[in-house]
């Protein structure tokens, strides 16, 4: 089956609302304001602090309150709320989540150690004995301890050194243990927390925080994907080779315009085929979305991506999304540079067709045969009068060095361009450094990472 993609069939990128530049700082302010409110709970309930035991216990209460609040914030950040996802951006939310996770685990560990130490000093007993007394003698503290250990384990597998040794799928499923950890810890907070016992308004507020977070997760991460899967009935229409180890997967369905996808966004794709149904992997749209067709282009870089080449027409597909803020709405300048490396061409190919104004594409690859979608890129460039530069880094190639001088030779007036960068992490980082050295303002360099 051949599914032609013609520029005139595409749904052009028409963001209904330009992303508000104020959303990221407002979101951060809201998080910090919540943390200040949590500290206010301790302040209002603490008349005075004296002695080593009092100071240790007070510090333990503070770190415990902040750790509990941090757990709710961590889950809310990854609830895939459209307002945040399309303004802050998926990659920035992931960075906030990762940084917040480190703080939360450290706060939970400090809370545990400080409370045990302060309690041991108060009753004049040893730390080991007091630990046993607390865990076994206080309500919900045994399950709270299990949740704490599970939270530590999740933090350990999320550390950069550990992630390098795990596949995306393994890490993704281990990360789900965070939900169980938070559930086990929640009861202990209300049953034993001195700032909650006997204070009904505070308990209600804490319940509202966690129930609200659970509602966001349940709706956006579970209910919405299931509803869309049933409504749009996605299926694989065709798998087409594009380059060595690279294929395009064409997906058809019903009422796809209702998804609201635009060029530059991605979905988390779950193919209901043997060996693939159990995981959802992010892939960008590699062509502007049509009312009856979506397309992704996948490079074999692991078990899941390699298996995409063996998909058969008719295979059912569940797609969560669209996600990401790597769209035309991030730009707004009259001139745009698209800088792609390898399979990073996929979202940029879609943007190349739909971005307004003067557009230049620089596509870096190792060999000529690695230039996926080259025929389409040349056709788009001819149709809209755009410029394409192919930079080959292999033997005998004429690759453009990722330096300020190298990019400026290819792109006159480089500092006046909006720049979209997509490629391997090393290439993307080198490109950002070169662009900054060339005078491109930081806010004009747009990059979205799918690194986990």
- State the pLDDT confidence band at 107, using cuts at 50, 70 and 90: very high
Lowest mean pLDDT among 83-92, 122-131, 319-328, 373-382: 83-92
> At CA 285, angle to CA 281 and CA 289, rounded to 5?
135
Domain ranges of the chain: 23-226, 233-323, 328-447
Q: Which residue has the higher pLDDT, 318 or 301?
A: 318
Which tokens is 160 given?
């950069």
Beta strands across the sheet bearing 387-392: 387-392, 358-365, 335-341, 418-422, 445-447
Q: Is the pLDDT of residue 187 over 90?
A: no
What pLDDT is stored for residue 13 in this prediction? Answer: 39
Q: What is the pLDDT of residues 32-45, one digit of tens each?
A: 999 999 999 888 88
Q: In the prediction, which pLDDT does 274 show?
A: 83
Find out if CATH 3.40.50.20 is the number for domain 328-447: no
Q: Answer with the residue of higher pLDDT: 166 or 446.
A: 446
Q: Is the pLDDT of residue 17 over 60?
A: no
Percent of the chain, pLDDT > 70? Answer: 91
Q: End-to-end CA distance of the chain, in Å?
A: 35
**Overall average pLDDT of the 432-441 stretch:** 91
Question: Which residues does 116 contact at the CB level (< 8 Å), separation at least 6?
Answer: 127, 130, 131, 134
CA distance 289 to 347: 11
Domains 233-323 and 328-447 equal at CATH topology level: no
Place of tokens 């739909």: 354
Query: pLDDT for 213-265, tens place per residue?
Result: 999 999 998 999 899 989 999 999 999 999 888 999 999 999 999 999 999 99
How many whole angstroms separate alpha carbon 370 and alpha carbon 349? 15
Distance from C-alpha of 92 to C-alpha of 90, rounded to nearest angstrom: 6
Most confident of 255-264, 320-329, 403-412: 255-264
The Cα 23–Cα 40 span in angstroms is 25
DSSP reduced 3-state for 322: strand
Between the CA atoms of 253, 257, 263 and 268, what dihedral angle is there, to the nearest 10 degrees?
-50
What's CA 269's distance to the chain center, in Å? 15
The gap from C-alpha 409 to its chain's centroid, in whole angstroms, comes to 34
- Answer yes or no: are the C-beta atoms of 447 and 429 closer than 8 Å: no
Q: What is the pLDDT of residue 399?
A: 64
Strand partners, 248: 240, 297
pLDDT tens per residue across span 267-298: 999 999 887 887 888 899 999 999 999 999 99
Q: pTM (2 decimals)?
A: 0.79
pLDDT band at 302 (very low <50, low <70, confident <90, very high): low
Superfamily the domain 233-323 falls into: Translation factors (2.40.30.10)
Residue 109 pLDDT > 90: yes
Q: Residue 7 has what pLDDT?
A: 47
Identify which of 352, 326, 331, 353 has the alpha carbon closest to the alpha carbon of residue 449. 326
């Amino acid at each position: 089956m051949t599914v032609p993609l013609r520029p005139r069939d595409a749904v052009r990128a028409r963001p209904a609302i330009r992303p508000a530049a104020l959303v990221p700082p407002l979101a951060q302010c809201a998080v910090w304001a919540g943390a200040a409110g949590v500290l206010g709970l301790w302040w209002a309930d603490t008349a005075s602090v004296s002695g080593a035991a009092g100071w240790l216990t007070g510090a333990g209460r503070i770190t415990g309150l902040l750790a509990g609040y941090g757990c709710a914030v961590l889950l809310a950040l990854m609830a895939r709320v459209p307002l945040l996802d399309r303004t802050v951006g998926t990659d920035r939310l992931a960075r906030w989540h990762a940084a917040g996770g480190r703080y939360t685990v450290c706060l939970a560990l400090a809370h545990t150690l400080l409370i045990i130490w302060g309690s041991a000093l108060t009753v004049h007993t040893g730390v080991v004995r007091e630990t046993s007394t607390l865990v076994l003698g206080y309500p919900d503290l045994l399950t709270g301890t299990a949740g704490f250990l599970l939270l530590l384990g999740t933090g350990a597998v999320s550390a950069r050194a550990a992630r390098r040794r795990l596949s995306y799928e393994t890490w993704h499923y281990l990360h789900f243990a965070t939900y169980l950890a938070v559930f086990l810890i929640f009861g202990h907070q209300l049953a034993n927390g001195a700032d909650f016992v006997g204070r009904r308004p505070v308990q209600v507020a804490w319940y509202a925080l966690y129930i609200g977070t659970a509602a966001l997760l349940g709706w956006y991460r579970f209910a919405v994907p299931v509803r869309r899967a049933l409504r749009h009935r996605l299926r694989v229409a065709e798998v087409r080779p594009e380059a060595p180890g690279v294929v395009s997967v064409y997906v058809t369905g019903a009422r796809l315009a209702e998804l609201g996808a635009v060029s530059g966004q991605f979905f988390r794709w779950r193919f209901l085929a043997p060996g693939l149904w159990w995981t959802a992997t992010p892939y960008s749209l590699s062509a502007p979305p049509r009312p009856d067709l979506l397309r992704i282009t996948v490079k074999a870089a692991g078990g899941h991506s390699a298996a995409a080449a063996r998909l058969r027409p008719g295979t059912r597909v569940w797609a969560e999304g669209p996600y990401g803020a790597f769209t035309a709405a991030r730009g707004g300048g009259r001139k745009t540079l698209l800088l792609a490396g390898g399979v990073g061409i996929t979202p940029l190919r879609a943007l190349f067709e739909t971005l307004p104004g003067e557009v230049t594409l620089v596509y870096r690859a190792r060999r000529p045969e690695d230039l996926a979608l080259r025929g389409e890129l040349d056709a788009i460039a001819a149709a809209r009068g755009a410029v394409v530069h192919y930079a080959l880094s292999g033997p005998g190639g004429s690759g453009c060095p990722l330096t300020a001088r190298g990019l400026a030779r290819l792109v006159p007036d480089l500092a006046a361009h909006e720049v979209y960068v997509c490629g391997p992490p090393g290439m993307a980082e080198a490109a950002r450094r070169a662009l900054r050295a060339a005078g491109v303002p930081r806010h004009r360099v747009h990059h979205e990472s799918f690194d986990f």
